[in-house]
Amino acid sequence: MKVFKRGGFIILEDNSEEFPIPVSVFDYRISGDNITLRDTGENTKFSAALTAIQNEAGSVVGNATAIGIYLANLTESGSGSADSPSQQILTNPSSTVVSGWKKISFACSGTITATINSNAIVYPYTLGASTILGADLEADTVTANDITFDGTGTVLLTVKQ
């Protein structure tokens, strides 16, 4: 399935048939190895394997992280900038890597392991009387450091590059 932007619409092209969705009502959810693309205005949805998602030229976009970044680029004027963060929902992530960030924030439910520079932390965790759901991290420049999410549950992720 090709997914690309034309004017103010996200175009889903499947078997040469185009389904335009206004950018303002486009939504997506990645769950495991699948993605659901939705038109929240018309309440319609399209599902596909992550490996089936292609750009307009017909090239496969990649893994869950690459698809999230690609869709953020389509739907936001300045993907990943301080004024326009990239946001994703990861459901039951399996070794999902997020890299190339300057600022990243995430909150987890269920049992999610976040590994940063070979240091693993399981979220959420208890610290005193508080439950820590996630973290806000900032580097001095856009960094090559990776964060790998793995586990059962949901990660709400915001990347500001």
CA end-to-end distance (rounded Å), the chain: 28
* Element spanning 97, H or E: strand 96-99
What pLDDT band is residue 132 in, cutting at 50, 70 and 90? very high
pLDDT of residue 75: 75
* Element spanning 69, H or E: helix 64-75
Q: Parse the chain into domains and list their residue ranges.
A: 2-75, 86-160
Question: How far is it, in rounded angstroms, from Cα 88 to Cα 141?
Answer: 22
Q: Is the pLDDT of residue 86 over 80?
A: no
Report the pLDDT averaged over residues 39-45.
86
Q: Which of 19-23, 75-79, 121-125, 144-148 has the lowest mean pLDDT?
A: 75-79
Q: In 3D, which of 82, 59, 58, 79 has the Cα closest to residue 69?
A: 79
* Element spanning 12, H or E: strand 9-14
Other Cβ atoms less than 10 A from the Cβ of 96: the count is: 21
What pLDDT band is residue 81 in, cutting at 50, 70 and 90? very low
Alpha-carbon dihedral 94, 99, 105, 111, rounded to 10 degrees = 20
Question: How far is it, in rounded angstroms, from Cα 12 to Cα 39?
Answer: 11
Q: Is the pLDDT of residue 149 over 90?
A: yes
Which letter does DSSP use for residue 24 in this model?
A: G
Average pLDDT taken over every residue of the chain: 84
**Domain at 86-160: CATH code:** 2.60.120.10
Question: How far is it, in rounded angstroms, from Cα 140 to Cα 113?
Answer: 24
